[in-house]
């Protein structure tokens, strides 16, 4: 088993966090996409180099980072509907 690929997970997670919380949403989203893609490439390259499968924890964290990036990407579409629903709920 490959050891936990902490650098790749940190890259991917920081990209998702940047995309969600940054003021410059689109720029941060593009940067996050590059970071998550680079992190996946890192994991795959390390897998090919060593010939061993990545740890389940590495793949789990990479999946979480990818899901966070996906949520950030669709947030502009979801936000207006969510705000309207919350306003209705708390009237």
Boundaries of every domain in the chain: 6-89
Under the banding of pLDDT at 50, 70 and 90, the label for residue 7 is: confident
**CB proximity list for 33: less than 8 A, separation 6 or greater:** 15, 19, 69, 73
pLDDT value for 16: 67
pLDDT value for 19: 63
Q: Average pLDDT of 4-10?
A: 69
Q: Choose between 27 and 12: higher pLDDT.
A: 27
Chain-centre distance for alpha carbon 75: 13
Q: Choose between 91 and 77: higher pLDDT.
A: 77
Give residue-wise pLDDT tens across range 25-78: 788 788 889 999 999 999 999 999 999 999 999 999 999 999 999 998 998 899
């Amino acid at each position: 088993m490959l050891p936990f690929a902490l650098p790749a997970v940190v890259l991917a997670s920081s990209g998702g966090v940047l995309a969600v919380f940054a003021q410059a949403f689109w720029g941060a989203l593009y940067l996050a996409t590059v970071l998550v893609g680079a992190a996946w490439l890192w994991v795959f390259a390390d897998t090919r180099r060593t010939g061993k499968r990545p740890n389940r924890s590495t793949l789990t964290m990479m999946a979480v980072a990818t899901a966070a990036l996906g949520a950030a990407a669709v947030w502009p579409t979801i936000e207006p509907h969510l705000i309207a629903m919350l306003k209705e709920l708390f009237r």
